Amino acid sequence: MNCIFCDIVEKRAKAEILYENDLVISFLDIRPVNYGHALVIPKNHYKDFLSMPKSELDEVIKITQKISSAVYNSLKPDGFNVITNNGTAAGQSVFHFHFHIIPRFTNDSFSFRPQLKNYENGTMKEYAEKIKSEIKL
Ligand code: AMP
Ligand code: ZN
């Protein structure tokens, strides 16, 4: 299987590594939205958020919070985003699960400015009921 993030984990490809342990590695995104844009990934290959086993997800989230704190305290951005893209339609381009930590500055080039919808009468409840029927704990 051809996966650039597995290559980084295995040190077959170079990356600017920020941190690694047995389960997780974090490195700088090669095409940053803003300088210091970091990625946090599990060392094992899982294609997306839904494929992550809970124990490894717990570790990825724990390290994502620690790296976010380091990005925030060292670079002093105005804010930051933690995001994960899942599926091509959502902008995923590397199919090895990862969190982005993106330092943000007032009026920078990154934007979440979608055209927001309104729920028509009663449809908000319908959407909630559909989703609730699939919650499996
Ligand atoms: P996504 O589009 O959410 O799947 O994010 C994948 C990210 O991986 C993009 O922001 C890329 O810039 C980044 N990326 C791809 N190849 C590399 C690489 N070799 N080293 C670091 N980051 C990479
Ligand atoms: Zn991989």
Q: What is the DSSP letter of 106?
A: T
Q: What residue owns the CA closest to ligand 1's atom 6?
A: 94
Distance 50 CA to ligand 1 centre (A): 19
37 a catalytic residue: no
Instruction: For strands 99-104 and 38-42, give the pairing.
Output: antiparallel
Cβ of 4 closer than 6 Å to ligand 1, yes or no, is: yes
pLDDT one-digit tens code per residue, 74-132 = 999 999 999 999 999 999 999 999 999 999 999 998 887 889 999 999 899 999 999 99
| Tally of CA atoms within 13 A in the half-sphere of 88 that contains its CB | 0
Ordered structural domains, the chain, with CATH: 4-112 (3.30.428.10)
The whole-number pLDDT of residue 130 equals: 97
Cβ of 30 closer than 6 Å to ligand 1, yes or no, is: yes
Dist CA 54 CA 59 (whole Å): 9
The whole-number pLDDT of residue 81 equals: 97
Cβ of 63 closer than 6 Å to ligand 1, yes or no, is: no
Atom of ligand 1 lying closest to residue 94 CA: 4
- Cβ contacts of 110 within 8 Å, gap of 6 or more: 33, 34, 81, 102, 104
The whole-number pLDDT of residue 111 equals: 83
The whole-number pLDDT of residue 59 equals: 98
